Amino acid sequence: MFTIGKASEQSGVNIETIRYYEREGIVPKPGRSAGGRRLYSSDEIAKLRFVRRCRDLGFPISNIQTFLSLTPQYDRSCGEVRTMAENHLGEINAKIENLMRLREALLSLSKNCDDGTADCPMLDALMKDGFGDGLHEQSSC
Amino acid sequence: MFTIGKASEQSGVNIETIRYYEREGIVPKPGRSAGGRRLYSSDEIAKLRFVRRCRDLGFPISNIQTFLSLTPQYDRSCGEVRTMAENHLGEINAKIENLMRLREALLSLSKNCDDGTADCPMLDALMKDGFGDGLHEQSSC
DNA sequence: GCTTGCTCCTGTAGTCACTACAGGAAGTAG
DNA sequence: CTACTTCCTGTAGTGACTACAGGAGCAAGC
């Protein structure tokens, strides 16, 4: 059994975050030592690691809770997991697309700054009417 | 002069968000009508629109506050704006890269789900040791 | 046995950029 | 005058943590 510090080290989850996960019921409450300290088994640490990896992959906690509730009956879970992963992939793709459009917009704004005149063309353009409205709607390009 | 509803419509900033910007000192307090309602000039609405566009471009509020403080003396601002825009571009590029790596990881995880066996290989892999640790460090690929 | 220093405890508040809601007042149209 | 809409203030909630205050447990050295 490991204290929270070791569990944090081994799982890669911050100590404060572990306590937060416990408070929120995302991971089960661990046992305690005589002095009241949390004690984690290797399985519990593996669960923390699992949560961290899912978070690293960008899954929201709500998804991870579903994952954790599914894991005992693996045989049913695969379809659900796949659906959630696909939804998540869709969101990631949308985010990438948005960021790339945003990058283009920024580049086109800031390259004008090279001309050395007194005014800043970038702020100018942002102040004017009509630029960049509807940046996040897919109709305009 | 326009009420907050019209200002919201014309600037594209939510009513609650306008009040939030005022509370936080991001935009100056507008005048009030006899009955105590906020009244916005076209200039103030333009400022709100400017804030929204910058937010759409992903700038944090702190940057936008700098932009707004710079705009009166345009002649000095261009360099600073460009620096901030370039920093911001760097962050956007990093985000895009991370998301793309993340997409690859997810794809490679979820495509195994096709094989129709009872266990979910995706959750399996995430539970195991060694997968995906250091996803967000740039050393690993 | 005692001190030092580290780790841990609880509980609360702060982060970012909003968003939502409750309970009431002002303004407008018929 | 009534009904309806818009607005007001103030507070709390969102997601996923992070930080801090003030105190307690624990191990090692003297």
Contacts of A99 (CB under 8 A, 6+ apart): B58, B92, B95, B96, B99
Distance from CA of B77 to the nearest CA of A (A): 7
Distance from CA of A23 to the nearest CA of B (A): 22
Q: What is the pLDDT of residue B39?
A: 97
| Minimum-distance nucleotide, CA of B13 to C1' | C18
Q: What is the pLDDT of residue B132?
A: 57
| Parallel, antiparallel or unpaired: strands A31-32 and B31-32 | unpaired
Q: DSSP for A128-139?
A: SSSTTTTTTSSS
Q: Tokens 């949560």 appear where? A: A51
Rounded-to-integer distance, Cα B54 and Cα A126, Å: 8
CA distance A86 to A22: 28
Measured from the Cβ of residue B116, the count of other Cβ atoms closer than 10 Å reads: 6
Mean pLDDT per 10-residue interval, chain A, length 141 residues: 95 94 92 95 93 83 82 59 79 79 76 58 69 45 21
pLDDT at B103 (0 to 100)? 81
Alpha-carbon distances of A37 from A30, A41, A140, rounded to whole Å: 10, 13, 57
Structure-token pair, residue B22:
């005022």
What is the sign, positive or negative, of the torsion defined by CA atoms of B57, B58, B59, B62?
positive
**Structure confidence by residue, pLDDT tens digits, B44-62:** 999 999 899 888 777 888 8
Q: Is-contact A114 A141, C-beta < 8 A?
A: no
Q: Give how far the C-alpha of residue B69 lies from the chain's centroid of Cα atoms, to the nearest Å.
A: 20
Looking at residue A141, its pLDDT comes to 21
Residue B77 has pLDDT above 70, yes or no: no
Residue B83 falls in which region: left (phi positive, over 0), alpha (psi -120 to 50) or beta: alpha
Cα B10 to Cα B46: distance, rounded to the nearest angstrom: 9
Report the mean per-residue pLDDT for chain B: 78
pLDDT tens for B103-118 read 887 787 776 665 555 4
pLDDT value of position A79? 73
Q: What is the pLDDT of residue A137?
A: 39
Q: Answer for A76: CB within 7 Å of strand D.
A: no
Closest-CA residue of chain A to B80: A120
Which residues in chain A have their CB less than 8 angstroms from residue B77's CB? 120, 123
ipTM score of complex: 0.67
User: Which tokens hold the place of B78?
Assistant: 């261009």
Helix (H) or strand (E) holding B39: strand B38-39
Separation of CA B38 and C1' C17 in angstroms? 22
Flag whether pLDDT at B5 surpasses 60.
Answer: yes
Cα B116 from chain centre: 40
Please give the residue that has the higher pLDDT: either B74 or B35. Answer: B35
Fold entry, domain B1-56: Multidrug-efflux Transporter Regulator; Chain: A; Domain 2 (1.10.1660)
Q: Is the pLDDT confidence value at B93 over 90? A: no
When pLDDT is cut at 50, 70 and 90, the band that residue B21 belongs to is very high
DSSP string for residues in A27-74: SPPPEE-TTS-EEB-HHHHHHHHHHHHHHHTT--HHHHHHHHHHGGGH
Determine the residue of chain B that is closest to A117 in CA distance: B75
- Contact residues, A window 59-78, toward B, CB-based 8 Å cutoff: 67, 70-71, 74-75, 77-78
Position B3 pLDDT exceeds 80:
yes
Matching residue, tokens 């659906």: A83
3-state secondary structure of B38: strand
- Distance from CA(A36) to C1'(D20), angstroms, rounded: 21
Where are the domains positioned within chain A?
Answer: 1-56
Residue B26 phi/psi, 5° resolution?
-75, -35
In the block, tokens 């659900």 appear at A80
pLDDT at A55: 86
Mean pLDDT of B92-111: 77
Encoding tokens for residue B134? 């250091």
